[in-house]
Structure 1
Amino acid sequence: MKRTLTALALLVAAAAGGLTWYLHGKQPLRDGELRLSALQAPVTVRFDERGVPHIRAEHEADMYRALGYVHAQDRLFQMEMLRRLARGELAEVLGAQLVDTDRLFRTLGIRAHADEYASRFDGDSPAGRALLAYLDGINQYQASRPRPLEFDLLGIAPRPFTVADTLSVAGYMAYSFAAAFRTEPVLSHVRERLGADYLKVFDLDWRPQGVVGTSLAAGDWQDLAAIARLSHAALEGSGLPQFEGSNAWAVAGSRTASGKPLLAGDPHIRFAVPAVWYEAHLQAPGFELYGYHQALNPVASLGHNRDFAWSLTMFQNDDVDLIAERVNPDNPEQVWYQGRWVELERRTESIAVKGAAPVELSLRRSPHGPIVNDALGQAAGSTPIALWWAFLETANPILDAFYQLNRADSLDKARAAAELIEAPGLNVVWANAAGDIGWWAAAKLPLRPAGVNPSFILDGAGGEADKPGWQPFAANPQEENPARGYILSANYQPLATSGIEVPGYYNLADRGQRLDRHLSDATVKWDSANSQALQLDTGSGYGPRLLAPILDELRAAAADERERALVEQLAAWDGDHRLDSLAATLFNQLTYQLAREAMADELGETFFDSLLYTRVLDSALPRLTADADSPWWNRQGSETRESRAQIVADAWRASLEHLRDQFGDDPGDWAWGRAHTLTHGHPLGQQPLLARLLNVGPFAAPGGHEMPNNLSHKVGPAPWPVVYGPSTRRLVDLADAERALGGIPVGQSGVPFDAHYDDQAAAHLADQYQPQHLSETDVAAHSRGTLRLLPR
């Protein structure tokens, strides 16, 4: 027995040692020397205490090649999954359950568009040379180092990364902005099936003629509901970044303590592990930038140096139209377009499926764009719904735009760079050490026929879907060096001094108004300390605004003194979502229950669920509670007409019942931090065993939906997992840019078991900022390893 136990112990030790050796071989190299092909001179990469690379090169191409190499060693699996998602190739490694997602992305045409764009890509332009060198660095890493753990688990065979992959990922990012996929079907359903009175809460112009000339059948409405559901499911289940919102402001030197402009920015992005951003400090002769990079993109999306800084928010202009086509009754391959029948284009594609036969697709396109019903396969209804998407219709030199923005040290250069951003729409908020601040709502905005409301499904036969041209960039909302001394962007409806209307799916004004109220206080001199306090604000006026009209009805609904005490907590609540707040928990459950009790019976479960994923619900609910005569209060099929008081009472009782079921009978146990948590999900973390190894969290999370510290959750029943929030919180005072602050929510590395896989997660939730080392003195003092890349 002793010999048996000894042998068993040796086997266990050998297995443990083998596993340790195996995992060690997967870890990034942050010290030593490596040789790379095509380098013109040695490159030094110093890694600081957070694993951020500080790259110094003698040639720009070497700099980007080195960036590609170190980015790949930290994030190769993220790069692989993003390109597969964007190009509709997930089923090849994840199996048949991903066929629907792949079919959606193939139908959108991202893959085909990227391939066509890549065929005419200018590799001799400055931005083109940067991308090719960066991709070469990625491919050299992939060809010379062990495959990531996830590649082994999924059986992924490495293949080179290409220009088309980068362009495809840009398409995915643009798609993740496009709220129209999830909003237009719902609003059109309300208009067509319920009528004008039901649209009032959404504050939209109503066109009583509906979808002119094209009658949508029951099957077509099912299509639209399925497309909306598939759209958000493809994003929700991917474990990959998705852009959602953002705050950014620039304060002129006249309003700062230092006398120089200060830039603040916190882009709101879906949380995942690894996080969307990869921080890197790049230096080459004539160039230096501390930037935030996306996977497969060599140029920084956010950045700063001693001379200038910028941040981004989503413009949220409506750059997507869904269009109902009229089919020729004598030829289903033709649709009516500009006075004649025209043929639909067809192409075939094949989806490789792990462990199963390939799935063959037949995809159609009308003159307006791809037919999105094809994403549903054989289940598609009879009316083709076309997608017009600015991303597919513009030249969109976005790589050139950000290459120039990485070097834009003057207003003229920054404005010229912003003008090249055509889709998706972005707000560029910028400042420089010379004292200028600027904001440009950057997008190519289409001209539309008079009276057309793109919030609804458009009629493809009547001309309302046509685009006669584009607005000039000068007409876009923008501002430079305003007299008030600051610029703010927070996803609300922007105003253009040119007077043009910019349709879009904008966020509530509450968040922007709260930020503006602080920034407009002329007695405040802004610095890093009070700017941090503003970014970390967990309050909102939204809750008190929504509750005010129904407080008396809630008091009447309370069954006893204990419940009346809860109502009075809501009445006295200031809207702050602190970890210890009971009122925040009660309000968020009540918000969902009010929406369900008032709207689910009219919409049905599928469209109601889609509504929960839209921004229009946020703006509708305060208008609903303020209107006691809204038809939404009446239950469909009821023999009597329900009142607001009855529905509020039902929502109150259902809310308390749910919270008791989830957290116990004692409201003292209903604290917000218990109900509102953040877990950073890995793409493979939906499997229980892998979840324990690869996911990061859960953490109790302050903040909430549509407040400055926008740790946001879906409107729904408790508990509330945080979906998205600040992907970084940056503060750059251009009087001392070498002491800028930032950080990311998880860690630099996407390599499991690496020291930098999750080393920033707790600090991010604890509202801690990280120093961004820019000066040679700081970089040298904080270096934890040096990797020298030598020419081969």
Structure 2
Amino acid sequence: MDQLPAAAFIGSNSWVLGPTKTKSGRAILANDPHIGYSQPAVWYEAHIEAPGFSLYGFHLAGFPFAVIGHNRRMATGMTMFENDDIDLYFEKISKSDTSRYIQDGISKVLTYRQETIIVKDSSDILLNVRSTAHGPIMNQALGLSDSIPPVTMMWTYLQLPSDELEVLYKLQRAKGIHEARNQIAKIHAPGLNMMYADVGGNYARWSAATLTHRSQSATPKLIMDGSDSKNDPLGYYDFSYNPKSENAPWGYAYSANNQPDSIHGISHPGYYLPEDRANRIIELLDQDKKWDVKGTQAMMLDYQSNTAMSINQSILQSLDYGHLKEPVHQSVLDLLKDWDGNFKEDDPIGTVFNKLIFKIQQLAMQDELGKESFEAYLKTHVMKRSLEPLIANDSSVWWDDVTTEEKESRTDIITEAFISGIQELQTQLGDQVSDWQWGKVHQLEHQHVFGKVALLRGIFNVGPFEVSGSNEVINNYLFSLNEMGEAHVHAGPSTRRIVDFADVEKNSWSILPTGNSGNIFSPHYEDQAKMYVQGKFRRMLMNKKEIKSISKAPLILVPK
């Protein structure tokens, strides 16, 4: 994460409530895109009014148009689709001529081009790029050894013309659901779930991407044989094959990076996150109640995990209680038995639970994977999707420690993880379980690039703050499990945003993680930071008269 030039788009929650689900009978849109934290914050919030145009938008550096936003007529939000739009291929280079490659027994010419990267105050970097019909050879970029055959990358984004800027421009001017859908259909990569609501009560979710039509023999999650054209894409599906939900009879649409339903009997491969957040959203929205902004705000701050409760039950059922004789063991067991699945910053259960699931996986898997690969595994979607079924599976091959002569069972590993995990927490946080509050280890600090220098950290960084929440709850404060037991939050809601069409001007709300300025001398550098971690919101003002009446020094740009 630290090596990325910009904050990574990771996930997101969004739901739109139709008129039958709200107290006002008007649509409500909620969206909190999950992005890597940084300082200055990812979004720049700006309200633009011009003749024939109005938008309260959230802007990214380098983009001329807002990515998400609303006006008095319609609102949009987004999450990551997580569809698989990249295929990798092993290429077969001709033995007699290394400037050619072989496919289906036919010799073809590698294309060459030179890319120049201009570096400020330094020499230009020249890259010689070789490509096949699949795409550029990636060995150098991927750090592959010379013994690995050339690996090429075919990415949908590079295969088709990019219309994203035109889409954003026209989407912000859409006059209704049909115009919005027509624009969103043009997004081909990266995949997005676009959320929509309007003043007429329409609401929708469209999975926006040009989806690859692959043969049944293709294995897109592996590096495929590029010398056989049967592994090449057969083409692309029409937008009508994309998952979608428009004005659904149950009254809402949602997205939480989970795999959407199949369309026309086709399920599209991807790197979808587990259904934890999606199932919790459904559970809450299926309640027999009408929603308003206050209820929606509370839902965005929800940190209960039914999946964690299921894992907790599997742990309790697997323990050998005859080995748990220390008073501290009983104190921890009491916590686990009484737990309601919430991750509160002042409760030690979050610290205990995450230590346990780390230790269980470490003892089960590190003997096979090795330390480096195990640490990489902990940072993947695979870990999140595998954890619950692993701990529930008494016969999994992972339970046996291959470094010993005995054959360990699930009970052996989980009991050992329980005992050693508690010992580590005592060393880290003291002997009293009540002192192991989740907020002591689960903290959010917004890091500025200059803040990596110790002397400048207190000047440029914002925080740290103790926070509730966890991985894969609605209030999704993401961290990586690690041996140190430190749950430093590296990503989460980049804004929390609610648009209520009962009264867009008076009842639409948002919050940024820090502030709307990157200037450390500005009062707006971190003026929202405490509000953000406290779960507060502020209104998104659109009424010109109201803005002028409360603004201390409004900046008004008037074209000549």
Aligning the two structures, in what range does the TM-score lie when normalised by the shorter sequence? over 0.9
Using the TM superposition, give the Cα deviation of residue 239 of structure 1 relative to its aligned residue in structure 2, in angstroms. Answer: 7.0
CA distance in 2, matches of 1:238, 1:534: 31
The question of 1:768 aligning with 2:533 is answered no
CA distance in 2, matches of 1:378, 1:443: 30
Which position in structure 2 is the counterpart of 1:382? 148
CA distance in 2, matches of 1:376, 1:264: 38
Task: Read off the aligned partner of 1:649 and give its amino acid letter.
Answer: T
CA distance in 2, matches of 1:783, 1:735: 25
Which of 301, 317, 337 matches 1:552? 317
SS of residue paired to 2:10: strand
The question of 1:524 aligning with 2:289 is answered yes
Which of 388, 396, 408 matches 1:630? 396
**1:53-92 to 2 correspondence within 5 Å?**
none
Change (3 A) 1:742 1:355: closer
Using the TM superposition, give the Cα deviation of residue 303 of structure 1 relative to its aligned residue in structure 2, in angstroms. Answer: 0.8
CA distance in 1, matches of 2:430, 2:479: 22
Task: Read off the aligned partner of 1:724 and give its amino acid letter.
Answer: A
Which position in structure 2 is the counterpart of 1:759? 527
Task: Give a deviation string over 1:39-98, Cα, whole Å, max 9, x none.
Answer: xxxxxxxxxxxxxxxxxxxxxxxxxxxxxxxxxxxxxxxxxxxxxxxxxxxxxxxxxxxx
Count of residues in Structure 1 that have an aligned counterpart in Structure 2: 557
- Unaligned runs of at least 5 residues, structure 1: 1-234
Task: Read off the aligned partner of 1:318 and give its amino acid letter.
Answer: D
CA distance in 1, matches of 2:499, 2:82: 25
Which position in structure 1 is the counterpart of 2:555? 787
Task: Give a deviation string over 1:191-222, Cα, whole Å, max 9, x none.
Answer: xxxxxxxxxxxxxxxxxxxxxxxxxxxxxxxx
**1:313-332 to 2 correspondence within 5 Å?**
313-332=79-98
SS of residue paired to 2:194: strand
CA distance in 1, matches of 2:479, 2:216: 37
CA distance in 1, matches of 2:151, 2:419: 42
Which of 148, 172, 192 matches 1:426? 192
CA distance in 2, matches of 1:750, 1:269: 17
Which position in structure 1 is the counterpart of 2:510? 742
Does the Cα contact within 8 Å between 1:555 and 1:567 map onto a contact in 2? Answer: no
**Structure with more helix by fraction:** 1
Does the Cα contact within 8 Å between 1:302 and 1:312 map onto a contact in 2? Answer: yes
Shifted more, 385-394 versus 641-650: the winner is 641-650
Using the TM superposition, give the Cα deviation of residue 251 of structure 1 relative to its aligned residue in structure 2, in angstroms. Answer: 0.9
SS of residue paired to 1:236: coil
TM-score using structure 2 length: 0.95
Using the TM superposition, give the Cα deviation of residue 684 of structure 1 relative to its aligned residue in structure 2, in angstroms. Answer: 2.4
Which position in structure 2 is the counterpart of 1:165? none
Which position in structure 2 is the counterpart of 1:541? 306
CA distance in 2, matches of 1:261, 1:735: 7
Which position in structure 1 is the counterpart of 2:108? 342
SS of residue paired to 1:310: strand
Does the Cα contact within 8 Å between 1:425 and 1:442 map onto a contact in 2? Answer: yes
Does the Cα contact within 8 Å between 1:363 and 1:374 map onto a contact in 2? Answer: no
CA distance in 2, matches of 1:412, 1:350: 43
**1:247-396 to 2 correspondence within 5 Å?**
247-349=13-115, 360-375=126-141, 379-396=145-162
Using the TM superposition, give the Cα deviation of residue 716 of structure 1 relative to its aligned residue in structure 2, in angstroms. Answer: 2.4
Task: Read off the aligned partner of 1:540 and give its amino acid letter.
Answer: S
Task: Give a deviation string over 1:535-590, Cα, whole Å, max 9, x none.
Answer: 11011112121232231333535242321331231132121001112111111111
CA distance in 1, matches of 2:535, 2:97: 62
Change (3 A) 1:596 1:330: farther
The question of 1:648 aligning with 2:414 is answered yes
CA distance in 1, matches of 2:129, 2:466: 45
CA distance in 1, matches of 2:132, 2:171: 36
The question of 1:614 aligning with 2:380 is answered yes
The question of 1:723 aligning with 2:490 is answered yes
SS of residue paired to 2:505: helix
CA distance in 2, matches of 1:328, 1:639: 48
Using the TM superposition, give the Cα deviation of residue 597 of structure 1 relative to its aligned residue in structure 2, in angstroms. Answer: 1.4
Which position in structure 1 is the counterpart of 2:359? 593
Change (3 A) 1:459 1:574: farther
Which position in structure 2 is the counterpart of 1:30? none
Using the TM superposition, give the Cα deviation of residue 609 of structure 1 relative to its aligned residue in structure 2, in angstroms. Answer: 2.3
- Unaligned runs of at least 5 residues, structure 2: none
Does the Cα contact within 8 Å between 2:548 and 2:554 map onto a contact in 1? Answer: no
CA distance in 2, matches of 1:358, 1:432: 49
Percent identity between the two aligned chains: 37
Change (3 A) 1:698 1:402: same
**1:696-711 to 2 correspondence within 5 Å?**
696-711=462-477
Task: Give a deviation string over 1:360-405, Cα, whole Å, max 9, x none.
Answer: 5433222211222112569543311211111111212011111121
Task: Read off the aligned partner of 2:351 and give its amino acid letter.
Answer: T
Which of 358, 383, 400 matches 2:166? 400
Does the Cα contact within 8 Å between 1:239 and 1:681 map onto a contact in 2? Answer: no
TM-score using structure 1 length: 0.68
SS of residue paired to 2:450: coil
Task: Give a deviation string over 1:698-746, Cα, whole Å, max 9, x none.
Answer: 0001101000111111132411111111111111110100020002111
The question of 1:688 aligning with 2:454 is answered yes
**1:191-230 to 2 correspondence within 5 Å?**
none
SS of residue paired to 1:242: coil
SS of residue paired to 1:279: strand
Change (3 A) 1:380 1:357: farther
Task: Read off the aligned partner of 2:493 and give its amino acid letter.
Answer: P
Task: Read off the aligned partner of 1:497 and give its amino acid letter.
Answer: I
Which position in structure 1 is the counterpart of 2:250? 484
SS of residue paired to 1:647: helix
Change (3 A) 1:781 1:335: same
Which position in structure 2 is the counterpart of 1:417? 183
Does the Cα contact within 8 Å between 2:205 and 2:246 map onto a contact in 1? Answer: yes
Does the Cα contact within 8 Å between 1:373 and 1:381 map onto a contact in 2? Answer: no
Task: Give a deviation string over 1:674-717, Cα, whole Å, max 9, x none.
Answer: 11000001122211112221111100011010001111111324
SS of residue paired to 1:264: strand
Change (3 A) 1:256 1:399: same
CA distance in 1, matches of 2:463, 2:306: 29
SS of residue paired to 2:330: helix
Which position in structure 1 is the counterpart of 2:216? 450
Which position in structure 2 is the counterpart of 1:36? none
CA distance in 2, matches of 1:664, 1:489: 41
Task: Read off the aligned partner of 1:413 and give its amino acid letter.
Answer: E
Task: Read off the aligned partner of 2:306 and give its amino acid letter.
Answer: G
SS of residue paired to 1:598: helix
Using the TM superposition, give the Cα deviation of residue 462 of structure 1 relative to its aligned residue in structure 2, in angstroms. Answer: 2.6
**1:63-212 to 2 correspondence within 5 Å?**
none
CA distance in 1, matches of 2:422, 2:359: 10
Change (3 A) 1:258 1:789: closer
CA distance in 2, matches of 1:378, 1:553: 42
Using the TM superposition, give the Cα deviation of residue 409 of structure 1 relative to its aligned residue in structure 2, in angstroms. Answer: 3.0
CA distance in 2, matches of 1:411, 1:376: 42
SS of residue paired to 1:497: coil
CA distance in 2, matches of 1:297, 1:446: 27
